[in-house]
Amino acid sequence: MSNRPLPWRTAWDEALYGEDGFFRRSRPVDHFRTSVHVGLFAEAVAELARRTSAATVVDVGAGGGELLTALRTQLPGVHLLGVEVAPRPVDLHEDIGWEASLPDRVDGLLIANEWLDNVPCDVVELDDTGVVREVLVDPRTGEESLGEACGTAWLDAWWPLDEPGQRAEVGATRDAAWGAAVARVEGTAVAIDYGHRRADRPPFGSLRSYRGGREVDVRPDGSRDVTADVAVDAVAAAVGATVLRQREALAQLGVDGSRPPLELARTDPAAYLRDLGRAGEAAELGARGGLGDFWWIISDTHGHGTLAT
């Protein structure tokens, strides 16, 4: 590990994806819970695949293959492929493909849940003299310093800094990553992530770390996740996509959060418990201040409307 300050983007990339990087060694589920760990999410994705007549579903940043595993029983006959820098999970069903990079062409549905927030960015800060400088970090300690002045074209367009001390994560790398992915798709592409739009950028950025289910000090030392919210409007503009909240997307896909009638508990207790569980999952996926606030960035090359309703 380097013992000198590095640009955040370099240190972040090495920490997550270097030879011994965090995501090469650990399963995301051991460190944080995402929508793919909530059963109803896969049902919504399956519904989207059916509505768009997808013959293939590709999950980029597939983690432990949880979403694809759930989709296997719901989408018989549909080719399922995980794209992941981590090795193929040993317990993944043999019907599910697993690759380290995206195929040249995806005919069907491309899903990326919580991928873009892990695409490393340059981190910048406005110094006391009004100059935007790159933020450097010592990977061993997380200690930061300011480096050279840097270009501001993306910031001027998407995240202008006004006051000394304000910081931003430069989303150009996410725009480019999603643009390159969507360019391969003949069908529908959806990136799902936490993020912000121009009117509600976090003034001091959103860089943070998670490990073992808890937020910990942000540090690119390979022992923890490093993430930052996605500038979703910039990503959407790069590919001409539509943006909506997860709770709206799921409602359009028929996810129903209403509780079963109490009467059902008497007439069919098993059905009541099942429906109650589903209502709980729908509530978690649509929660304000939680997963429901996530953004769906949706593109469709076939001219289907948003979520093909």
Ligand X SMILES: C[S@@+](CC[C@H](N)C(=O)[O-])C[C@H]1O[C@@H](n2cnc3c(N)ncnc32)[C@H](O)[C@@H]1O
Query: Considering only residues 43, 47, 114, 281, which one is a binding residue for ligand X as defined by CB under 6 A?
Result: 114
H/E run at residue 57: strand 56-60
Q: Does 300 engage in binding with ligand X (CB under 6 A)? A: no
Q: Return the residues of window 244-263 that contact ligand X according to CB under 6 A.
A: none
Q: Which amino acid is present at 30?
A: D
Q: Which of the 8 DSSP states describes residue 20? A: T
Give me the 12-41 binding string for ligand X, x by CB under 6 A, dash otherwise.
-----------x----x-----x-x-----
Q: With beta carbons less than 8 A apart as the criterion, state whether 191 and 235 touch.
A: yes
CA distance 244 to 202: 19
Q: Does 1 engage in binding with ligand X (CB under 6 A)? A: no
Cβ proximity to ligand X: between 169 and 275 the closer is: 169
Q: In what order do the strands lie in the sheet with 214-216?
A: 214-216, 208-211, 225-227
Cβ proximity to ligand X: between 115 and 272 the closer is: 115
Taking the complex as a whole, the smallest distance from the CB of residue 274 to ligand X amounts, in Å, to: 24
Q: Does 85 engage in binding with ligand X (CB under 6 A)? A: yes
Which pair of tokens denotes residue 232? 């979703």
Query: Considering only residues 84, 169, 175, 281, which one is a binding residue for ligand X as defined by CB under 6 A?
Result: 84
Taking the complex as a whole, the smallest distance from the CB of residue 258 to ligand X amounts, in Å, to: 26
Q: Does 284 engage in binding with ligand X (CB under 6 A)? A: no
Give CA 246 to chain center in angstroms: 12
Q: With beta carbons less than 8 A apart as the criterion, state whether 202 and 229 touch.
A: yes
CA distance 152 to 149: 9
Q: Does 113 engage in binding with ligand X (CB under 6 A)? A: yes
Residues binding ligand X: what is the number (CB under 6 A)?
16
Residue number with the smallest Cβ distance to ligand X: 61
Q: Does 183 engage in binding with ligand X (CB under 6 A)? A: no
Q: How many alpha carbons fall within 13 Å on the CB side of residue 199?
A: 0
Judged by the rule CB under 6 A, the positions of this chain that interact with ligand X are 23, 28, 34, 36, 60-63, 83-86, 113-115, 118
